[in-house]
């Protein structure tokens, strides 16, 4: 892919009020999700659940791309069509998670660094051959007593930049995902300070590694109070603080910012995105979604592993995607719509 093609792909992923479905749960994480609805995780149940998601009628009206996992990109629909082809036929671009997970960061108790750089060039080439046109790497930053350390921020920003450069060299658009976790009792001020420090370092390192900002997407967490905070913030405050932080840290050259949901409820994630697209002045990037749980949770609960529930689950998924698409235009008017 030429640089122009990478830029076109990045722009297309956030065009027309569409966003991304993150369906790249690792084998361990999808097992937890399936267990929550009493479904055993096997090669076949994982495949069946992902087929339900990818074949939902009209998903492509609201979803531009789907992030797959290594196992999933190699799986087929029941009729034998490889999942990347199923997605392409539905006007959805296949993407792939390429990190190998957040591992304990040496000498920094409680913190992690995301691994997966070894052999990444070769893996990217293989994934491109399997149909992927964009990739994802998630760095995890935890807020706590004496956390995050500068060591953790530096190590993760460096890995994100190396990954992003390798992606662009290999013809894939990198989604750069530094997630500041919602876990903890911190207030929204602390989240804003940490998120600002993380994004500053990430863009410094992207610059150092010559990453073309016009051909990436940023996938940040929102600026939000910790899950156990005594001072939860309202929808407007989350939107205002998040935009305040992003304006100060994210260059206008970046075409799109696609938020993760990070444990917010489906309704909250949609309301926050909508608020950011409604007020608080102009911003240079398109603001959209790359939600995992906030798109899938309601559909997963409706399905519960029963074939008879599959169509209803698909309708619920597509409706959730439609509401988030409305939020991309600031046109979400609540759940009743």
Is 241 among the residues that bind ligand 13P (CB under 6 A)? no
Sign of CA dihedral 287, 53, 84, 139: positive
Q: What is the largest CA-CA distance in the chain?
A: 53
If the CB atoms of residues 46 and 138 are measured against ligand 13P, the closer one turns out to be 138
Please report how close the Cβ of residue 57 comes to ligand 13P at its closest, in angstroms.
23
* Distances in whole angstroms, Cα of residue 269 to Cα of each of 160, 266, 277, 294: 25, 5, 13, 7
Is 7 considered catalytic here? no
If the CB atoms of residues 289 and 332 are measured against ligand 13P, the closer one turns out to be 289
If the CB atoms of residues 66 and 233 are measured against ligand 13P, the closer one turns out to be 66
Given the residues 136, 179, 192, 219, the one annotated as active site: 219
The size of the interface with ligand 13P (CB under 6 A), counted in residues, is 10
Backbone angles phi, psi at 275, to 5 degrees: -60, -40
* Distances in whole angstroms, Cα of residue 44 to Cα of each of 23, 71, 82, 131, 295: 16, 11, 14, 22, 22
Please report how close the Cβ of residue 102 comes to ligand 13P at its closest, in angstroms.
10
Q: Mark 87-126 with x for binding to ligand 13P (rule: CB under 6 A) and - for no binding.
A: ----------------------------------------
If the CB atoms of residues 259 and 332 are measured against ligand 13P, the closer one turns out to be 259
Given 161, 292, 325, 328, the residue binding ligand 13P (CB under 6 A): 292
8 Å CB contact between 264 and 272: yes
Q: Mark 63-92 with x for binding to ligand 13P (rule: CB under 6 A) and - for no binding.
A: ------------------------------
Please report how close the Cβ of residue 79 comes to ligand 13P at its closest, in angstroms.
28
Is 33 among the residues that bind ligand 13P (CB under 6 A)? no
Is 262 among the residues that bind ligand 13P (CB under 6 A)? yes
Is 178 among the residues that bind ligand 13P (CB under 6 A)? no
Given 18, 46, 133, 138, the residue binding ligand 13P (CB under 6 A): 138
Is 260 among the residues that bind ligand 13P (CB under 6 A)? yes
Is 324 among the residues that bind ligand 13P (CB under 6 A)? no
Does an H or E element contain 291, and which? strand 286-291
Contacts of 83 (CB under 8 A, 6+ apart): 50, 51, 54, 68, 72, 73, 75, 76, 77, 94
Is 293 among the residues that bind ligand 13P (CB under 6 A)? yes
Is 177 considered catalytic here? yes
Given 22, 172, 181, 218, the residue binding ligand 13P (CB under 6 A): 22
Instruction: State CA 144 to chain mean position distance.
Output: 23
The token pair at 40 is 């055993």
Give dist(CA 278, CA 259) in Å, integer: 16
Is 21 among the residues that bind ligand 13P (CB under 6 A)? no
Is 294 among the residues that bind ligand 13P (CB under 6 A)? yes
What is the three-class DSSP state of 134? strand
CA angle 135–199–230, rounded 5-degree value: 110
Contacts of 186 (CB under 8 A, 6+ apart): 143, 225, 226, 229
Residue 47 CB neighbour total at 10 angstroms:
17
Given the residues 7, 177, 179, 192, the one annotated as active site: 177
The token pair at 195 is 């998120």
Q: Which residue is nearest to ligand 13P (CB)?
A: 292
Q: Residue holding tokens 């093609």?
A: 5
If the CB atoms of residues 137 and 145 are measured against ligand 13P, the closer one turns out to be 137
End-to-end CA distance of the chain: 40
If the CB atoms of residues 177 and 240 are measured against ligand 13P, the closer one turns out to be 177
Segment interacting with ligand 13P, rule: CB under 6 A, options 109-117, 259-267, 306-314, 325-333? 259-267
What is the set of active-site residues?
Answer: 177, 219
Q: Where does this chain bind ligand 13P (CB under 6 A)?
A: 22, 138, 177, 260-262, 291-294
């Amino acid at each position: 892919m030429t640089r122009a093609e990478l830029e076109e792909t990045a722009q297309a992923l956030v065009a027309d009020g569409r966003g991304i479905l993150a369906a790249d749960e690792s084998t361990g994480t999808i097992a937890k999700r399936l267990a929550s609805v009493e479904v055993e995780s096997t090669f076949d149940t994982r495949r069946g659940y992902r087929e339900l998601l990818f074949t939902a009628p009209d998903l492509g009206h609201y979803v531009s791309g789907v992030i797959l996992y290594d196992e999933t990109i190699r799986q087929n629909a029941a009729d034998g069509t490889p999942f990347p082809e199923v997605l392409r036929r539905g006007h959805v671009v296949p993407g792939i998670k390429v990190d190998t997970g957040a591992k304990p960061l040496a000498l920094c108790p409680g913190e992690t660094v995301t691994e997966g750089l070894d052999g990444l060039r070769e893996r990217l080439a293989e994934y491109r051959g399997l149909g992927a046109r964009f990739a994802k790497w998630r760095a995890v930053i935890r807020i706590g007593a004496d956390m995050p350390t500068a060591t953790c921020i530096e190590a993760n920003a460096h890995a994100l930049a190396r990954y992003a450069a390798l992606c662009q060299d290999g013809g894939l658009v990198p989604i750069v995902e530094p997630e500041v976790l919602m876990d903890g009792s911190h207030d929204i001020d602390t989240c804003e300070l940490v998120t600002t420090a993380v994004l500053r370092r990430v863009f410094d390192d992207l610059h150092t590694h010559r990453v073309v900002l016009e051909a990436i997407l940023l996938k940040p967490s929102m600026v939000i109070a910790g899950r156990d905070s005594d001072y939860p913030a309202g929808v407007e405050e989350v939107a205002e603080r998040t935009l305040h932080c992003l304006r100060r840290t994210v260059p206008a050259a970046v075409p799109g910012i696609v938020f993760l949901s990070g444990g917010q409820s489906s309704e909250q994630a949609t309301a926050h995105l909508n608020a950011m697209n409604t007020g608080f002045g102009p911003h240079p990037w398109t603001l959209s979604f790359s939600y995992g749980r906030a798109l899938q949770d309601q559909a997963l609960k409706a399905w519960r592993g029963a074939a008879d529930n599959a169509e209803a689950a698909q309708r619920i998924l597509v409706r959730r995607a439609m509401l988030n698409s409305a939020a991309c235009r600031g046109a979400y008017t609540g759940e009743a719509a």
